[in-house]
Amino acid sequence: MFSYVLVCFQMLEDSSPVDELMELTAQSLVDLEIQDRFNVIKEIGRGKYGRVLLVTHRCRGTPMALKVMPKASTQLQGFLREYCTCLHLSGHPGIVGLFGIVFRSMEHYCFAQELVNGRDLFSVIQPKVGIPESSVKRCALQVSSALDFIHSRSLVHRDVKPENVLLLDDRCFHVKLADFGLAQRRGAFIRFVSGTLPYSAPELCVRVLREGQVSAPPLPVEPSLDTWAFGVLLFCVLTGYFPWESCTSEDSFYQDWKEEGERNKDTEEEREEEVPPLWRRFTSDALQMFRRLLALDPEQRSSVTEVKAYVLRDWLKPAPPIDQTSPTTSHKATSSLAPPTETSSNNNKNNINNNTNNNTNNSTNNSNSSNNNKNINTNNSNGGSNNTNNNNSHNNINKKHQQQQQHQ
């Protein structure tokens, strides 16, 4: 017998609906072996904290994505929080849905999700090129709507990146946000950070524990963390590059953006020569949008819905003829990159919550970020030249694509 958790709309209006769902789910969690009720077809995802299996229900034949977390490395409280957060938010069309099926086996905690038969957003990004602007805008509207819904429930996703945006089609007419392993309630405190990604906001990066450091000032979890990550996501899918490795003083590309932001904080106008080379491909409207999404001060950062005001405007300048390309811009942006690799033709990869996270305590177990850092090979070239830093930073898109193909 399965545990079907029914959620009424009244509960969604309560002050702490996720906590109430956790209590209800804990009381009704049943013991069940996977093979008793499901046919396991294959593994479709694997992360540090668990696996995702493609299964069909033995009685109904319904295909599902079954998230499986080993008990040996998963605390029940963390499992319940992730499941109940997903359940609380799954009514939104832009968020991966649940079947309300949750149970424990002898060795695992499990819950069933909607099966998304497609790829993740990262897998369709062509290195050094990105994806068409029209597709980016369709994706941006849907992801911003999903994030706005999450924020309206006083939650913060905290892991916004292309790998967690699932595509039902390659042109982004329908996308869904996934993976709530790091989601936290707004106002909770991050005590320390063990690693960063290009999507990590500056206020988060300064809390990475350095050698010999045992603590850092706590940071309250706010939607502005998601806004920053969303802005970086848009840059990645529009260009095929990361804008930087991390928001630190050692990263020259981030410092370029920081200096640009400080120059333009009191004006919306800019001179072409003052715009960092990697950003010169964007129109003035797009730069204005990025300045609001990627404002250095989290208090001045816009909400994710800011993108709606710019979606009818052009974001990318028309590409100039090859013989008229600016040597300065071209050199700094692309000189050290390896040739882009072919995107794999395997469309059966269902990247549903590959990087699961227990999120079991308030000290923000950001080891997920550490694990992801290995995946994208963010090897910072401390003190290197701009060209060397460019090779380490922007070549990561190519390396990640190669890793995904090998894994497939």
CA distance 198 to 161: 9
- 230-239, 291-300, 328-337, 384-393: which has the minimum mean pLDDT? 328-337
- In this structure, the chain runs to a length of 408
- 139-148, 306-315, 383-392: which has the minimum mean pLDDT? 383-392
Per residue in 68-94, pLDDT (tens digit) is: 999 999 999 999 999 999 999 999 999
pLDDT at 150 over 70: yes
Q: How deeply is 151 buried, as exposed, middle or buried, from its count of CB atoms within 10 A (0-12, 13-18, 19+)?
A: buried
Burial code of 242-275, b = ≥16 C-beta within 10 A, e = fewer?
A: bbbbbbbeebbbbebbbebbeebeeeeebeeeeb
pLDDT value of position 45: 84
Best CA proximity match to 181, nearest among 371, 4, 404: 371
Q: Is 256 a catalytic residue?
A: no
Where in the chain are the domains?
A: 3-113, 121-407
Instruction: Determine whether the annotation assigns residue 67 to a binding site.
Output: yes
pLDDT value of position 266: 57
pLDDT value of position 1: 40
pLDDT at 370 over 90: no
Amino acid identity at 66: L
- 104-108, 166-170, 393-397: which has the minimum mean pLDDT? 393-397
Catalytic residue among 120, 159, 226, 256: 159
Q: Which CATH architecture has domain 121-407?
A: Orthogonal Bundle (1.10)
pLDDT value of position 104: 96
More confident residue, 333 or 179: 179
CA 125 to chain centre: 14
Q: Which CATH architecture has domain 3-113?
A: 2-Layer Sandwich (3.30)
Percent of the chain with pLDDT over 90: 59
pLDDT value of position 304: 97
CB of 74 within 8 A of CB of 358? yes
Q: CA torsion sign, 279 to 282 to 288 to 292?
A: negative
